[in-house]
Structure 1
Amino acid sequence: MKQISFKNKFGYMMGDVANGLTFGMSAGFLLAFYTDALGITAAAAGTLFLIARLWDAINDPMMGVLTDKMFRKRALKHKNQKVDKFKIYLLKGSWPVIVAAILMFFAPDGLNGTQKLIWAYATYIVWGMTYTFVNIPYGSLAAVMTQDPVERSSLAVARGIGGLIGNILPRLIVPLVLVQFTDELSKGYLIAMILFGVIGLVSYIISYYTVEENIVHQVSDVESTDKDGFVKSIGVLVKNRPFVAVSIASIAMLLGMMVNSAMAVYYFKDNLNALQLMSITGLTGLLPMLILAPIMSKVVKKFGVKRTVATSSLISSIIYGALFLLPSNAILYISVSFMAAIFMTIPHMLVWGMVSDCIDYNQYLCGKRQEGVIYGCYSFVRKMGQAFAGFFAGVGLSLIGYVPNAIQTSQVLWGIKFLTIGLPAFGMFIAFIAYQFIWNLTPEKQKEVVKSINM
């Protein structure tokens, strides 16, 4: 089997740089944009996130099915030719998702409260659908680039680096932009999103021209997959223990991570009175990935995926729990959360390679790969975690009594701290339980699976 090159890994990384830029703006700053710039209440914004993400989650498996069906049509049309299944969507989906993201951070003048809410719903849902159109095929790419578990780990690391860069850049740059536009917050958010949109578009194009699909599908395999139907595919996934483990862990981990991301601007602004220092977390958030990237494949090779992700999840949970009990101090938060982030980053980096393992295991169970369906279902699970994270952050702010652009009470400050630090501790502990007791792919079992599906 052809080995993946540095160019392939770099291209795969750039795809998630692009994804991460719009996603990072949404996860880290859209709630604050809605409450402090557009003028929507926190509770209304939280409900919007829940409803829109639930709808978006439904789209993900549908997009997976559509990807498989469209490939079947192209494969039948171009028999005896190599037909790429997923990479074409990097080109087709690049500009729609960028345009939608820019509109999401645009605040039209002269709208009343109801019209603002309608605008927010429309732009957020459209962005979510365009993001699904490009992200589901992109995520499925790893499964057709290689079947080697070590190479998949390296691809997962590359994607993790790309996603982290995409998510960190907004945290690094947006606070500095907002400081310059304190009287025109909406303008500051829009300028930042346009900048990231340009970078994202270029990143998608680079990714398209540098990734390669090396696992070739036979038309007959695709035809049989198409006839089985979506419902039967879901029935097999319920028996897929690695998929169940990854799903539970991802929901819990994303709940903690995304609530932390959404609440960070409030925590630094209100609890720490140091919004300008939030930019430092952009650098400290990038460092764990840079530290781990050169050694992650070696760690997985030595200890196996299960032991690596379970142990790191538990350590991250313990550190976040300790941080919650410590006094609120900017330097203390930055330094201790940095240590927690190192261990949280490990399962976050490796999860995409683990999804590819779930695809192999699914073929081992029923003889069908169905990358699009499985990745779509996994993306559905992630969107559920994101939906509940947005709901928790928005409604949580409302429940604790947050008042926009005002001095907060001690009760509100405690609530902000719990949402920022306490939930990540809880989420990482649930991830540890899932990986330790549900994931059943040992290195020996993984070799058996790969051997079986290639016979």
Structure 2
Amino acid sequence: MGTDSNSSVQPFGIKDKLGYMFGDFGNDFTFILSSSFMLKFYTDVMGISSGVVGTLMMAARFIDAFTDVTMGQIVDRSKPTKDGKFRPWIKRMCGPVAIASFLIYQSAFANMAYGFKVFWMVVTYILWGSIFYTSINIPYGSMASAISPDPKDRAQLSTWRSIGGTLAGLVIGVGTPLFAYETVNGNTVLSGPRMTVIAGIFGVLAIICYLFCFKLVRERVEVPANNQKLDIARLFKSLVTNRSLLGIIAAAIALLLAMLTMQGMAGFVFPNFYGSAEAQSLSSLTGTIVMLAICAPLAVKLSTKFGKKELSTVSCLAAAVVYLACLIIHPANPYVYVAFYTVAYIGLGFFNMIIWAMITDVIDDSEVKNGIREDGTIYAVYSFARKIGQALSSGLTGALLSMIGYTQATAFDPDVTEGIFKLSCIAPLVGFVLVALCLWFIYPLNKKRVEENVAELARRHKAQG
């Protein structure tokens, strides 16, 4: 395995950044597709109640509570190979996760019995999210600590990872509405066969991106297998008493509530309230532009100067104010709504760019306290929290849509579309406020403490030789 003691391994550089970017590009070809279009696909194409779809997305998270932590333990206890400790999993699992995602969107079954469609949805969604996505995402996320021990390098990896997710969001958010929707009887509706083709194409692109990640990234830091006997009680106690982990988990759940509700409701507010799939594509394009042109160049600089916690808290509060203004003004023009959406995305973007570096800060903080390096397990718990956020946003969106009476038959009723607009503002507004509160009052790793932890670990590692 390549380690920091192996002179044959190239120093940390642009290949690692690009490779890590491609990893999240691959992840989000299936993740964003699910969070943005699965609910609409199964309600509008397959004819399944939005409440049933949302319930599945929440219920699957109980399975993830076991599969995520189990995968984290497998990663922590695995021995390094010639390709590293984390990289091999990316190559092993890229095919299964792409195939499972494709199987979710099979419009050929739209005329099958209701029970069969629910069964198909449950099986394919759990295979994708709870098993295969977990088995590639946990090693990928844990790998950042092994690529470089330098906090600045890790912050750059976090930014490049977010760039990868942003680019995937651009392809999915801009491209999918343009090709997936068609006009039927004057209404903008989702085409099932087109969604099936799109899911297949994105699956192939995901595999290509994962292989680029495997090829370009190198692990330089030796992370030995954790050979300690598994003590469930100790592990549980260390996790539930880790304030920094609990704080980032709470903030992550709120972040996903805000971000995925924005993305998920875009599939309803633009075609149903505004009647404009083009505006939905534009919102994804402008969101991507501000992420790449504003957030990516400034995130590392601002977080280095002010602190990751401090920057994220202020930016999320600003995004909440933007959505409050949108709710009050109630724009009739879809492109004015796009403007509000875009400005709010800047607030979201700063936190999203540095959150992965905050996870490595949590891992460092845990090692300072416990003397044990548990990258896989801690990242697995965080990954589970992200899935909880995804499920809550999808489940909440589905429940709220049901509450306002949204069905295939009522999708364009004026009272229902008005409710859709209000939900598209209120849900992310609440999510952004919760992010700021969780970071400020629960998450303890301010700029000073992060710097102290880095110095302490450097001292310990030097003393260990």
TM range (shorter): over 0.9
Q: Which residue of 1 aligns with 2:68?
A: 60
Q: Which residue of 1 aligns with 2:396?
A: 392
Q: Which residue of 2 aligns with 1:307?
A: 310
Poorly superposed stretches of 4+, deviation over 4 Å: 180-184
- Counterparts in 2 of 1:16 and 1:271: CA distance versus 1, 3 Å: same
- Counterparts in 2 of 1:3 and 1:300: CA distance versus 1, 3 Å: farther
CA deviation vs aligned residue, 1:210-248 (integer Å, no higher than 9, x gap): 1111221245xx213xx2434422311233222122111
Does residue 13 of structure 2 align to residue 5 of structure 1?
yes
Residue 277 of structure 2 aligns with an amino acid whose one-letter code is L
Structure 2, unaligned stretches of length 5 or more?
A: 5-9, 461-465
Q: Which residue of 1 aligns with 2:243?
A: 241
Q: Which residue of 2 aligns with 1:87?
A: 87
Q: Which residue of 2 aligns with 1:198?
A: 204
Give 1:432's match in structure 2, choosing from 436, 441, 446. Answer: 436
Scaled by the length of structure 1, the TM-score of the pair is 0.93
8 Å contact kept, 2:181–2:190: no
Q: C-alpha displacement at 1:180, in angstroms?
A: 4.9
Look up the SS of the partner of 1:84 in the other structure: coil
Distance 1:369 1:382 in 2: 22
Look up the SS of the partner of 1:45 in the other structure: helix
Scaled by the length of structure 2, the TM-score of the pair is 0.91
CA deviation vs aligned residue, 1:93-137 (integer Å, no higher than 9, x gap): 100001001101113445201111101111111111211110111
Distance 1:252 1:184 in 2: 29
Q: Which residue of 2 aligns with 1:188?
A: 194
Q: C-alpha displacement at 1:374, in angstroms?
A: 0.4
Distance 2:76 2:364 in 1: 16
Q: C-alpha displacement at 1:181, in angstroms?
A: 8.1
Residue 342 of structure 1 aligns with an amino acid whose one-letter code is I
Does residue 153 of structure 2 align to residue 151 of structure 1?
yes
Q: C-alpha displacement at 1:417, in angstroms?
A: 1.9
- Counterparts in 2 of 1:330 and 1:444: CA distance versus 1, 3 Å: same
Aligned length: 443
- Counterparts in 2 of 1:198 and 1:106: CA distance versus 1, 3 Å: same
Residue 61 of structure 1 aligns with an amino acid whose one-letter code is V
Give 1:420's match in structure 2, choosing from 413, 424, 431. Answer: 424
Distance 1:322 1:187 in 2: 38
Greater Cα offset, 292-301 or 345-354: 292-301
Distance 1:57 1:188 in 2: 34
Give 2:348's match in structure 1, choosing from 340, 344, 348. Answer: 344
CA deviation vs aligned residue, 1:362-403 (integer Å, no higher than 9, x gap): 000100111111001111111111111111111211111013
Distance 1:444 1:277 in 2: 43
CA deviation vs aligned residue, 1:306-365 (integer Å, no higher than 9, x gap): 211111111111111111222243011101111110111111111111001100100001
Structure 1, unaligned stretches of length 5 or more?
A: none
8 Å contact kept, 1:153–1:353: yes
Identity of aligned residues (%): 32
Residue 115 of structure 1 aligns with an amino acid whose one-letter code is F
Q: C-alpha displacement at 1:18, in angstroms?
A: 0.5
CA deviation vs aligned residue, 1:151-177 (integer Å, no higher than 9, x gap): 221111101011121223111111111
RMSD, matched Cα: 1.9
